């Protein structure tokens, strides 16, 4: 069983829709990361959080430490949000990655 599970694996939505991507983990962590991988392969860190909620523009990330669960929300989605969104957790001196959620926003 993967230590970090994401759902859904693939998501297609219309422009403007509210998007939710979920992440569950089974190990003790010091922080959880949400990353975006562009179609060209580059990886950008979106959020790092260890409790509560963070917001940056149209992106919101929440974490529930007790339930070992995090969500990434995108409001007013746009075709340029199309990418793979990766949940990863910091454990000791390494990061464990989920398999990613491929998001496709249709114009």
Partner 1 sequence: EPEVTQTPSHQVTQMGQEVILRCVPISNHLYFYWYRQILGQKVEFLVSFYNNEISEKSEIFDDQFSVERPDGSNFTLKIRSTKLEDSAMYFCASSPLRGGLAGGRADTQYFGPGTRLTVL
State the residues that interact with partner 1 by CB under 8 A.
28-31, 33, 35, 37, 41-45, 48, 50, 86, 88, 90-100
Q: Least distance in Å: CB of 64 to partner 1?
A: 17
> Cβ closer to partner 1: 28 or 79?
28
Strand 10-14 relative to strand 101-106: parallel, antiparallel, unpaired?
parallel
> Cβ closer to partner 1: 87 or 105?
87
12: left (phi over 0), alpha (psi -120 to 50) or beta: beta
CA distance 29 to 89: 6
């Amino acid at each position: 069983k993967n230590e970090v599970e994401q759902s859904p694996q693939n998501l297609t939505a219309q422009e403007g829709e509210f998007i939710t991507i979920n992440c569950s983990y089974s190990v003790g962590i010091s922080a959880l990361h949400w990353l975006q991988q562009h179609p060209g392969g580059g990886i950008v860190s979106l959020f790092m959080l260890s409790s509560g909620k963070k917001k940056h523009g149209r992106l919101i990330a929440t974490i529930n430490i007790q339930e070992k669960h995090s969500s990434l929300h995108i409001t007013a989605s746009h075709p340029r949000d199309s990418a793979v969104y990766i949940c990863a957790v910091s454990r000791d001196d390494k990061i464990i990655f989920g398999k990613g959620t491929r998001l496709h926003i249709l114009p």
